[in-house]
Amino acid sequence: MKIHFTKPMLLFSFFLIMSCGNQPQPSEQPTDTSSVQDTSVQIVVVPPAIPPADLNPDGIGGLYVGSFDAIEYKTNKRPSYSNRITISIDSVVAGNLYGHSIVAGNMRAFTGAAQETGKVYSVTGQEPGDDQYDGSFEFKIYPDLDSIEGTWTANNKKLAVTKRKYALSKREFKYDASLELPDYMPGNALYSEKNMPEDEYGEYEALTDDVLKINASKNLLKKADVENMHKGDLEVIRNAMYARHGYSFKNRKMRYVFDNVVDWYIPLNTDVRDMLTEVERKNEDLLKRYENHATKYYDSFGR
């Protein structure tokens, strides 16, 4: 049977915007055209005052995190077989579920119908369709288990991966500067597009014990702390700052590390520049300078 919720009453007000000139815009931000003179009528939607319970039946709202695994793919296109995904259930109104996903540096909204049967919610959700990587989600939400299971199917059948499965657990996100990289991080490989983990032979950039020596979110670094470190270690230490803020990595090299090795990592944001602390900003500059001149540490793998 379908879920029944009280429909929110939307209040609409109309106003005219008259602008006298352009206003300066922040750098690296989308151009805001609202400062251009415009006499057209615009609609403002006033958010309704709805109790959270009406938007979050059975407490299903929140973040669900886990592996996003390829089940239909084209090997010759060198697909990414497993990424970490976060699915956010944002609200359910009148039987319609609204959410968004964050994976591989992309954040996409989806909307679809939700049906409840014996406290299990069945959801079919569509992404907007204006991006080549959009598709459709089909999943079940198990409120008693705080979990989601389902599949995603790509609209574009020419992609390297056209279908994925996922089994996600409900998690809460909170920034914590004290989160450390795991003790088993040294020895892990930094893979690239040309050097994938499924390759049987080859040389790869390996992390060393030095990667565990520094938490760049906690302490202000000095040159002596980083000047003799390898490039890969410096890169992971720097990106760990972003990971603590929930940054979703587009860079495949960093995805292999944080998606597969770091348990506390929750992809949540596609831009965290404004979230970095003063200590992190200063350390970011120092780490980048030394990355540019550091040497790589290579190891080999095979049968």
**What are the sequence ranges of the domains in the chain?**
11-50, 53-171, 189-301
Residues 153-158: what's their mean pLDDT? Answer: 97
Name 14's Cβ contacts closer than 8 Å, sequence gap at least 6. Answer: 41, 42, 43, 44
Amino acid at 93: V
Helix 231-244 and helix 278-291: axis angle, to 10°? Answer: 160
Residues 245-256: what's their mean pLDDT? Answer: 95
For residue 293, CA distances in Å to 212, 231, 283, 286 come to: 20, 8, 16, 12
Residues 146-157: what's their mean pLDDT? Answer: 98
User: In terms of CATH, what superfamily is 53-171?
Assistant: Calycin beta-barrel core domain (2.40.128.20)
% of the chain residues with pLDDT over 70: 77
Q: Is the pLDDT of residue 22 over 60?
A: no
Convert the pLDDT of each residue in 87-110 to its tens digit: 999 999 888 999 999 999 999 999
Is pTM beyond 0.85? Reply is no
β-bridge pairing 120-126 and 41-46: unpaired
CA distance 57 to 63: 15
Query: Which range among 13-27, 103-117, 255-269 shows the weakest confidence by mean pLDDT?
Result: 13-27
Q: How confident is the model at residue 194 (pLDDT cuts 50, 70, 90)?
A: low
Name 178's Cβ contacts closer than 8 Å, sequence gap at least 6. Answer: 215, 217, 218
Q: Is the pLDDT of residue 200 over 70?
A: no
CA distance 20 to 159: 47
CB 106 within 8 A of CB 98: no
Class of residue 223 by CB neighbours under 10 A (exposed 0-12, middle 13-18, buried 19+): exposed
Name 25's Cβ contacts closer than 8 Å, sequence gap at least 6. Answer: 31, 32
